Amino acid sequence: MAAGLTQMARSAPSAARGERPVTTYREDLITAALTVWPIVAMFFDGRGHNNKTGQESFWSLPHLFLYAGMTVIGVWVGLLVTKYQLAAGADPRKSLIPDLKAIPVGYGVAILGLITLGLGGPTDFIWHSAYGFEVGVDAIYSPPHLLLFFGGLLVSSTGIRSMWAKQDIALDFKGFAPVLLSTMLFIGVSGFITMYLSAFMTNVTPTSDFVADYQANFKDDFTDQTQSLNAGLTGYGDDQWPFYYYSASHGIASMIITTLILLGPALLLLRRWRIPFGAMTLIFTGYGLLVSIMTEYRDWPLIFPLILTGLAIDVLQSRAPAGQRLTLGGIRTAGPIAAAVLWISYYGILALDKGIGWEPTLWVGALMVGVMSGFGVAFLIAPPAYGPRLVDAESN
């Protein structure tokens, strides 16, 4: 068995470069649609942990839906891979090691994701039995939970990988549906993993009530110029604490992480496809609906900045010639523009809904950081085209 796994790992690169089957549109759509089930259940499970106390049963309703959905996905991918194995003349009943060249493009990573989920489920049960149920920040960083999240990322992105292998560039809404669902879920899972640095789930630090609370009830190290930064951070044992330092840093870090999670996948799609107008708006709206589950819809107005950002990307792409994708320069332009729309509208909605407690120096600077983050993501996705060619699949 070990020798077979070793051989499979060694032959993976050559199999990836060889002729492998490509799934049909219908198969990709079914895969993406079924993946919605466990991912939505995961958000409802997270809602329970974030908004209620006493969540100490492995057999909660969201948990049951989550693992049932994972099982259904596993059965479907297993049947799909078996179909292509048999079509290639391989017999899965005779060996546990599949023929890599007969695994559909994009589904090899899905198999790894399902194996990770398969390990994460029992490990989660054992871990809870041994150490109890984590609360707060510890819950997201529990090792079995991280296994489940990583498996979710690998499975949820199947639609993107599979459709990437097809020759289409300009797709209509029907043809783009597997990518749309897959991208929305991938962004959702990425946002879930980083929820404690999310501008849409846990970022209360810029709000007036949060700032007023710590200013009125706690002694801060940095309310004046009487103490240096390092002295304030290391002043252990006194009755002061650097609330402003940590809250402001959390708010800015949340913006950077959220920009990476939203714009990274979105701009990557623009390099591969000319997506149908409105698709990016739907992707970002879907993400907004998912994260609203986590807050029990208390922050539902923050869906509007996401809608506007998706719409801005759709409009920017529509300016490219019909049937053509954005150029590298166009993508590098789209990044900071989309980030500007996202964060200007975000702080506008936040000001109307909850008020901004930060001073202008901080919140205007935060907007600039958000825009610069958008440019940074765009530059990584669409690097310069001049100079030596980039490493490709055929390079050593």
Kindly report, residue by residue over 209-250, the tens digit of the pLDDT: 888 888 888 877 666 666 777 777 777 777 777 888 888 999
Low-confidence ranges of the chain (pLDDT < 70): 1-18, 51, 53-59, 92, 95-96, 131-136, 221-226, 387-396
| Cβ neighbours around 92 below 10 Å, total | 15
Q: Can you tell me which residue has the tokens 């399902």?
A: 114
The reported pTM is 0.88
Q: What is the pLDDT of residue 1?
A: 46
Q: What is the pLDDT of residue 111?
A: 92
Handedness of CA 315, 319, 324, 329 (dihedral sign): negative
Mind giving me the DSSP string for 169-213?
SB--HHHHHHHHHHHHHHHHHHHHHTGGG-TTTT--TTBHHHHHH
Contact of 222 with 232, CB cutoff 8 Å = yes
Kindly report, residue by residue over 311-351, the tens digit of the pLDDT: 999 999 998 888 889 999 999 999 999 999 999 999 999 99
| Cβ neighbours around 217 below 10 Å, total | 8
Tell me how far apart the alpha carbons of residues 282 and 290 are, in angstroms, rounded to a whole number.
12
